[in-house]
A = this chain, B = another copy of it.
Amino acid sequence: MTRSNKTRATMHDVAREANVSIASVSRFINGQTVREEIEPRITKAISALNFKPNSAGRALRASKTQQICLSVPDISNPVYQTITKGVQNILNKTDYRLMLAPRNLSVEENLALIDSLDSNYADGFIFLSLVDDPRIRKAFMKLSIPAVVIGNVEVHEEVDTIKVASGAVELALAYLVNKYGGDVLFLNGPSSTIPGRNRKKGFLEAMQSRGIDGTKHVVEAESFNVEAGLSALGKVKNISTYRSIICANDLLAAAALRFLSTLKIDVPNKIAVIGIDNTDLASVLSPALTSIDYKSEFRGELAAKFILDRLNDPTTAYRKISIAPELVERESA
């Protein structure tokens, strides 16, 4: 023990203790071959001094932080929790750490977040945003680290993207119309958001193709959560004229189930309910929620893999993946 008591050992200390140069210690730690004779000396010194390489020194010199930043617009939403889980699944197998970015619901929050990434605290960025804006696209374009986009936010082309193929609502509608006929209500989230906009479009087109004007079949909640869903449904005039409800995410579907349950309307026999996202929530609700699977955990895993691939080899061709949504049948429809 050459070290004083309370301060941590550095590579210099290890080198001195093992009687080798600091370069050899560094090389050994980074998996390069060193003379067979000195290997045990280094390992011994490391454990004797309880040496752990300092992240900051490493990051500064190598300009690699070993951190991946994940932006989560709203951590209360189970779909983002599921994506986060997927990202973790992959990162935990590597020596990359996961940074959870601050909430980025608004355009301003998004801009601040993207801006902050210039401070080099992360090597890669997994970007999720509910909102779209030319300023976001512009800021994103100037990003100094590689990024992966999950979702339909519009950005430039030099980026890996993971989308869910359109047609999720069509999938739900086809199922419901076939089973229960055309009296379908669409409970949307705010159409000012990207998913709100897209899912509404999907619904209207799907109705259109069946010769129905869907516009009167849409009710919009102020937010993608239960409270907003309940309040939106409360404003629907005669809910019992509908035979089924498509909800723009699982939380809104949970709201629908609660709403119908308080009205003693049987699900699915009087009104069927179908959600979108197929988060953990779906199998927790009763009746268990039939939902369109957006494969969120998988998307998270894929995003993490993409970013790691690119960090390993920056010349990797940019990938634009589109996941096929899938209907998962449970009890509610």
Residues on A close to B: CB < 8 A?
8, 50, 52-57, 59-60, 63, 65, 67, 75-76, 81, 84-85, 88, 91-92, 97-100, 102-103, 115-116, 118-121, 144, 226, 251, 254, 257-258, 261, 280-281, 283-288
Contact = CB atoms under 8 A, between A and B. Distances in A.
Given A55-B65, A97-B99, A98-B100, A286 B283 contact: no
- With most chain B CB atoms within 10 A of its CB, the pick from A103, A119, A288 is A119
Contacts of A76: 81, 85, 280
A8 B284 CA distance: 49
Contacts of A75: 81, 84-85, 88
Given A120-B55, A261-B286, A286-B258, A99 B100 contact: yes
A26 to B, nearest CB: 15
Contact of A102 (B92, B257, B283, B286): B92
B286 A8 contact: no
Contacts of A281: 281, 284
A84 B88 CA distance: 15
Contact of A52 (B8, B55, B57, B118): B118
Contacts of A102: 88, 91-92, 98
Given A261-B287, A286-B286, 7 more contacts: A55-B65, A67-B99, A91-B102, A100-B100, A226-B284, A254-B285, A285-B285
Nearest to A286: B261
Contact of A103 (B54, B65, B92, B144): B92
A118 B286 contact: no
Contacts of A67: 99, 121
Contact of A284 (B53, B55, B60, B251): B251
A284 B283 contact: no
Nearest to A8: B144
Nearest to A61: B56
Contact of A97 (B121, B258, B280, B284): B121
A56 to B, nearest CB: 4
Contacts of A257: 286
12 contacts: A8-B118, A8-B144, A53-B119, A54-B120, A55-B120, A76-B81, A81-B81, A98-B102, A254-B285, A261-B287, A281-B281, A285-B285
Contacts of A285: 254, 284-286
Contacts of A91: 102
Nearest to A250: B284
A52 B120 CA distance: 9
A281 B258 CA distance: 12
A180 to B, nearest CB: 21
Given A99-B100, A280-B76, A120 B56 contact: yes
